[in-house]
Structure 1
Amino acid sequence: MSLIEQIDKDYIAAYKAKDDVKKAVLRHLKTAIKNRMVDGGGEVTDEDVLDLVAKQIKQRKDAIEQYESAGRPELAEKEAVEIVALSGYMPPELSSEELEAAVEKAIAELGASSIKDMGKVMQAITAAHKGQFDGKVLSGLVRSRLS
């Protein structure tokens, strides 16, 4: 079953269960998928859907930071619940040990020795483990290893 089919199935289940939060999140995701189909002019792959889910999770994390700095914890809580609903469609995140091992492996394979090689290392890890880590964490880890 493709990711789009799973999202459609989950949307129907949320609709029947009257789960308004999940229904709204999935409706927004389905709209983003349809927009990608129209913009791209064709089929949307599971990888495209994962990109969209990751983008929506990032938007919600940014919103949480803004709400917390504005003193609106109830809105931050709502965004956190939406992140949980979206996270079910992402592959499991790498543990810090697995991410460190991936960084060490990429540095060794590429022969990276300076901060100038950071982009190559980041690109190699992203290609191998797309959607399984936080970019800020990876960036800090690679930077500390190469400096």
Structure 2
Amino acid sequence: MSLLVQLKDEMKVAMRAKEKIKLGAIRMALSSIKQAEIDNKTELDDAGIIAVLTKMVKQRKESITMYTEGGREELAANEAAEVAALEAFLPTPLTDEEIAKMISDAIADTGASSMADMGKVMAVLKPAMQGKADLGAVSGKVRATLNA
């Protein structure tokens, strides 16, 4: 079953269960997916939908940090509930060991030896890790490995 169908099915379940926060998060996700399809003039596949959902989760995590620092705990709790609703549709996150192995394999496959080759390594890693790991953190680990 495609991710889009899963989202629509879960939206119906959330409507019936009167789960307002989950319903709102799913509606925002469907809206963002539709907007990305219009912007790109193409229909998104599961990988594209995962990219949209990952971006939404990242935005909400940043909002949680800002709300918490600002003393707005009720808003942070709402954002956290939305994150939980969206993460249910994302693939299982990779462990640190899996990430380290994928980085070393990508460096070996590309023959990378310096920071000049970082783009090649990230080009291999990005499709494999999209939605499964924070690519910013992965980029830092690749940078540290190549500088070592």
Residue 109 of structure 2 aligns with an amino acid whose one-letter code is: E
Aligned to 2:44: 44
How much does 1:87 deviate?
0.6
Q: CA deviation at 1:82?
A: 0.9
Measure how far apart 1:80 and its partner are. 1.4
- Tell me the residue number matched to 1:29: 29
Can you list the C-alpha shifts for 1:44-98, whole angstroms capped at 9, x where unaligned? 2222211110110111011112112222222222211111110111111110000
Q: Which residue of 1 aligns with 2:64?
A: 64
Give the CA deviation at 1:108: 1.1
Once residues 128 and 36 of structure 1 are traced to their aligned partners in structure 2, the CA distance between those partners, rounded to angstroms, is 21
Structure 1 residues not aligned, in runs of 5+: none
1:77 pairs with 2:77: yes
Is contact 2:103-2:125 (8 Å) kept? yes
Q: Which runs of 4+ in 1 moved over 4 A?
A: none
Where do 5+ consecutive residues of structure 2 fail to align? none
Aligned match of 1:6: 6
Letter in 2 for 1:105: D
Seq. identity, %: 38
SS in 2 for 1:132: coil
TM-score, normalization by structure 1: 0.92
Counterpart-to-counterpart distance in 1, 2:35 and 2:127: 25
Query: What is the Cα-based RMSD across aligned positions, in Å?
Result: 1.4
Counterpart residue type for residue 35 of structure 1: Q
Distance (whole Å) between structure 1 residues aligned to residue 102 and residue 25 of structure 2: 32
Structure 2 partner of 1:20:
20
Say which SS state the counterpart of residue 57 (structure 1) adopts: helix
- What TM-score results when the alignment is normalised by the length of structure 2? 0.92
Q: In structure 1, what residue type is equivalent to 2:36?
A: R
- Is the CA contact (8 Å cut-off) linking 2:115 and 2:143 kept in structure 1? yes
Matched, 1:88 2:88: yes
